[in-house]
Amino acid sequence: MLSTQAYTFDPRPDVPLALAVNRYWQADSPHANDPEAFTLVLAHATGFSKELWEPVIEDLYAAGGLKIRDIWAVDAPNHGDSYIVNHAELSWGYPVVRWEDYGRSIHAMIAGLGSGIDVDFSKRRVVAIGHSMGAGAFLLTTTLQPRLRYESLILIEPMILNQEGLGGVTFLAKGAVNRRDIWASKEEAYTLMKARKPWKFFDDRVLKLYITHGLTSLPTAEYPDKTEGVTLKTPRRQEVACFSDPNAAPRSYNIIGQMAQRLPIHMVYGGVDDYIPLKYQKDVTDNAAQGRLASITRIPGAGHLAVQTHPTAVAHTLVDLINKSDSKAKPKL
């Protein structure tokens, strides 16, 4: 049985936006207090939230074969519960929320530069795992001081593209602007999403978590005059604010090769290149990363939203990759 504890990490005023964070652990695990076990920190994709990692977390523990001390999942500063904490600050001066804003806040948390979390991550064996925007955010943490010491960095379907490739993903921002964001109830939202792309392809555990944690009752700060029904906890304009970061993909593209010399970086793509065409994936792995990645893995049948559609396969992939990078593993005789 997994235990969960919610935190609010506050790095202000040095970093302007706070974070909502969940910690997960198995109380009866022999590794819960093992200094040699791993601490995993998870960052999500645009439009989602920390709770949608829970099926992956459950399946990680169920898979066995990996010494896990605990797992931390972090909402981006303008997503989910973090948005609730930061909505006043975000209402002015944030037409664009950069991946680096997510990364700076995560960096402050792991570096202990704030209040609200009484864990010294410098004494932990931290594995950083990011999906899509979260992958870019984690990559950008490697450029900040003090330098964090990761055991490895695992990038799942990172939105790292060259200039030509960026022109092919403008549909994401347009989709966020135009998609429906009010329903009569959570039950109605579940029924409708269950029949529509991309939600109908989600693992049902993920979809139910999206309904539970991704929707909130009206009225909200976004819709103060609407009193009935539910809406997105992360407003559409906050998704657009993340998709509008002009520097995120170029910066990530330009640094991944250098960072792959500093620490093991594992790249994970879906076997279906639905969002990022294969030629742009290969450009990143071969040219931007200069062939220095620790590994490149493809998850059969999954696309860009692998965490949502194939959480069990993602979990098994993570077990393999973390063990592969374990510098303290005993050699096989």
Find out whether 304 and 280 touch, Cβ atoms under 8 Å.
no
Find out whether 32 and 2 touch, Cβ atoms under 8 Å.
no
Instruction: Establish if 228 belongs to a structural domain.
Output: no
pTM: predicted TM-score of the whole model, two decimal places: 0.95
Find out whether 307 and 58 touch, Cβ atoms under 8 Å.
no
In DSSP notation, 194-214 reads HTSTTGGGS-HHHHHHHHHHH
Range of the domain at 268: 2-178+237-324
The pLDDT of residue 167: 64
The pLDDT of residue 331: 43
Give dist(CA 21, CA 23) in Å, integer. Answer: 7
pLDDT digits (tens, 9 = 90+) for 242-285: 988 888 888 999 999 999 999 999 999 999 999 899 999 999 99
The pLDDT of residue 177: 76
What residues in the chain have per-residue pLDDT under 50? 330-333
Instruction: Establish if 188 belongs to a structural domain.
Output: no
Instruction: Establish if 190 belongs to a structural domain.
Output: no
What burial letters (b/e) apply to 138-169, b meaning 16+ CB within 10 Å?
A: bbbbbeeeeebebbbbbbbbbbbbbeebbeeb
Give dist(CA 179, CA 52) in Å, integer. Answer: 20
Decide the pairing of beta strands 215-217 and 230-232. Answer: antiparallel
Task: Give the chain's domain count.
Answer: 1
The pLDDT of residue 179: 86
Instruction: Establish if 252 belongs to a structural domain.
Output: yes
Instruction: Establish if 279 belongs to a structural domain.
Output: yes
Instruction: Establish if 156 belongs to a structural domain.
Output: yes
Instruction: Establish if 283 belongs to a structural domain.
Output: yes
Residue 243 CA: distances (Å) to CA of 27, 169, 222, 249: 38, 9, 19, 10
Give dist(CA 105, CA 16) in Å, integer. Answer: 8
CATH at residue 311:
3.40.50.1820
Instruction: Establish if 194 belongs to a structural domain.
Output: no
The pLDDT of residue 329: 54
The pLDDT of residue 244: 86
